[in-house]
Structure 1
């Protein structure tokens, strides 16, 4: 009896290592399979697109659909228009590296020089604290620079966005940028530093040896209500003249009920309008570029009601009010723009969107036969994005 028990114990000690080895090998196979499942194949491609078409009608007899006043002759007061036909490709070469290309084919309807190609940049992300971007891109210098045009709460970007773009601070510019985010206590902070040619997109080279340096800082004041405070600043040289730009903005998103939400954007910007200064004849301007400064602000409240009825996802109502002056020190002429808009969203993230409303401009001084003239424009805009 004892002999039988002894044989069994010896057999158990001899066979156990084989079972353990087999189980270990099995666990190793499981780990390898899991690791393979986690592996991501590169490069990865993501195609994007945006189509925006409009119907425009001027409600002023002598002002055409582009906002130009005509003192004589007939004007085109109604028209269909393809505003944007964008095609984009985002390529992930690795976990850290991506290349982005974006073109707007609708720009071929007019002189395509310095148009069409919008984004053309590479970005390398070291960590959440720092990423480096180089090429042609939209530098961070306000709320609108960080939001694609297809998901903004109005028909188009503000007047100040386009004017600061002409002066090299916003819109598509060529240069390099460092961005990142970190936390200070419970406050999330994001930042951006950019160095730019400052003469717009699709340029063969910089217009001079000067560069424009800008930065943006965003402080998350409330995560519950998504209240963010943004601060912008920039300095540079254009044809040996010193230029600057600054701005501040605040955004918030508040949930009123389960289906109703309210968000608001408020932004102020001021800076040198060197684009205007150098466009004037030498004998028609002062000796100092600092005499020509632009400034303005806008407020845009937006109400969003979630519908989820068949294909209709939501209904939104917004009204942006903007006051902007391209040269408030010399020949001041404030432009006030009201943009009330109602939109119907189909699908998620504005996959389909139908918007209608008005763009109403009021100038302190009307200038005949120019676009600096009071006008009332009615718009219907249809949008598809992928």
Structure 2
């Protein structure tokens, strides 16, 4: 794994030796402009096991709430262009008010400064680039939601909304390269302050290997100090689009990640820990093919058929580990353009190595019907 991190650093060093050829265009007319965008997602959920609630928890008494209407996201995003080089972005999820809004609601809150195409600066609360799923918003995802590994690595401070700063940019040579270097607190969003003096240092380098098929290779690596312990995370991802005809195309993405699960380690009673934080590691792999048929008939733009497979283990070094396999077949209808309106139907099928009654580690099928609109 150390060799992998060295490879990422060397790749990034090579990127810094190449300057972008295209200058940043000046746009004085855009100064002071404020734009607003939004996203609404509502869904109906039904658990295939009436003893398992919608959070996946198995109830021994059989008193589980196994179906529900829910507002998943009600987002508003404000972007202010205060100069031709500087933007300020705010993203709120008003659906978080349905529960305790502490450490919620505010998702993005950051400022960016563009020096040129190669060097951009960002500071505030944002999603640091540490994987393929960080490269697009959830409203254009090819499955029902982000993967299990995205959630786990987010809980450990590598992904999802974090507070910190980053430098990022791109080159446009024969092999296009995108990069991002981030330093963040690593204790998730909307915290009063960091919980220790350690920081998460991470990097992502994305290489455009093939233009016509849009094949991209991503390398991710990070090191951090958490409560006095040194931890790491690393991953690799690959994506591309295969045209199958005039209206058919197959989009494929796959990703593997591995790293310390320090959140799990420090959440255990000290008497129950077996070894140090180095012995508590997680890894995950997912594969997501998405078959798209472009209809473009009246307001119906396309139909999509996908099925993500994921294998995730949150503690693979101990004998008591209980790996989780998840299949998520989904059918989606896109209306208008760019997912301005969308209807999705999918099933989240979880299978564990062994069922543990009274916990979330229990086999289940969760049926989901979701509607969304981008404003």
Question: What SS class does the counterpart of residue 169 from structure 1 fall into?
Answer: coil
Instruction: Report the equivalent of 1:239.
Output: 227
Instruction: Report the equivalent of 2:369.
Output: 380
Q: CA deviation at 1:39?
A: 4.7
- Are 2:213 and 1:220 equivalent residues in the alignment? no
Instruction: Report the equivalent of 1:87.
Output: 76
Instruction: Report the equivalent of 2:145.
Output: 156
Instruction: Report the equivalent of 1:40.
Output: 29
Aligned with residue 332 of structure 2, among 340, 343, 365: 343
Question: What SS class does the counterpart of residue 40 from structure 1 fall into?
Answer: helix
Question: What SS class does the counterpart of residue 53 from structure 2 fall into?
Answer: coil
After TM superposition, the score normalised by the length of structure 1 is: 0.89
Aligned with residue 179 of structure 2, among 191, 195, 210: 191
Provide the rounded CA distance (Å) in 2 between the counterparts of 1:311 and 1:89. Answer: 28
Question: What SS class does the counterpart of residue 176 from structure 2 fall into?
Answer: strand
Provide the rounded CA distance (Å) in 1 between the counterparts of 2:199 and 2:193. Answer: 12
More deviation, 39-48/129-138: 39-48
Question: What SS class does the counterpart of residue 263 from structure 2 fall into?
Answer: helix
After TM superposition, the score normalised by the length of structure 2 is: 0.91
Provide the rounded CA distance (Å) in 1 between the counterparts of 2:242 and 2:47. Answer: 35
Instruction: Report the equivalent of 1:296.
Output: 284
More deviation, 57-66/98-107: 57-66
Q: CA deviation at 1:312?
A: 0.6
Q: CA deviation at 1:266?
A: 0.4
Residues 248 and 159 of structure 1, relative CA distance in 2, 3 Å threshold = same
Deviation string 1:53-84 (CA, Å, 9 cap, x unpaired) is: 00111111311222111111322221101011
Question: What SS class does the counterpart of residue 329 from structure 2 fall into?
Answer: strand
Provide the rounded CA distance (Å) in 2 between the counterparts of 1:357 and 1:162. Answer: 19
Provide the rounded CA distance (Å) in 2 between the counterparts of 1:77 and 1:267. Answer: 31
Provide the rounded CA distance (Å) in 2 between the counterparts of 1:257 and 1:89. Answer: 39
Instruction: Report the equivalent of 2:350.
Output: 361
Instruction: Report the equivalent of 1:129.
Output: 118
Q: CA deviation at 1:51?
A: 0.5
Structure 1: segments with no counterpart, 5+ residues: 1-37
Instruction: Report the equivalent of 1:229.
Output: 217
Matches for 1:310-321 after TM superposition, within 5 Å: 310-321=298-309
Q: CA deviation at 1:41?
A: 4.2
- Are 2:265 and 1:277 equivalent residues in the alignment? yes
The 4+ residue runs of structure 1 with deviation greater than 6 A are: none
Q: CA deviation at 1:88?
A: 0.8
- Are 2:40 and 1:56 equivalent residues in the alignment? no
Q: CA deviation at 1:287?
A: 4.2
Provide the rounded CA distance (Å) in 2 between the counterparts of 1:308 and 1:328. Answer: 46
2:170–2:176 CA contact under 8 A, matched in 1? yes
Instruction: Report the equivalent of 1:286.
Output: 274
Instruction: Report the equivalent of 2:8.
Output: none
Deviation string 1:25-44 (CA, Å, 9 cap, x unpaired) is: xxxxxxxxxxxxx7514211
More deviation, 154-163/365-374: 365-374
Provide the rounded CA distance (Å) in 1 between the counterparts of 2:361 and 2:371. Answer: 27
Matches for 1:62-141 after TM superposition, within 5 Å: 62-141=51-130
Provide the rounded CA distance (Å) in 1 between the counterparts of 2:188 and 2:278. Answer: 21
Aligned with residue 181 of structure 1, among 170, 178, 194: 170
- Are 2:234 and 1:251 equivalent residues in the alignment? no
Q: Which has the higher helix share?
A: 1
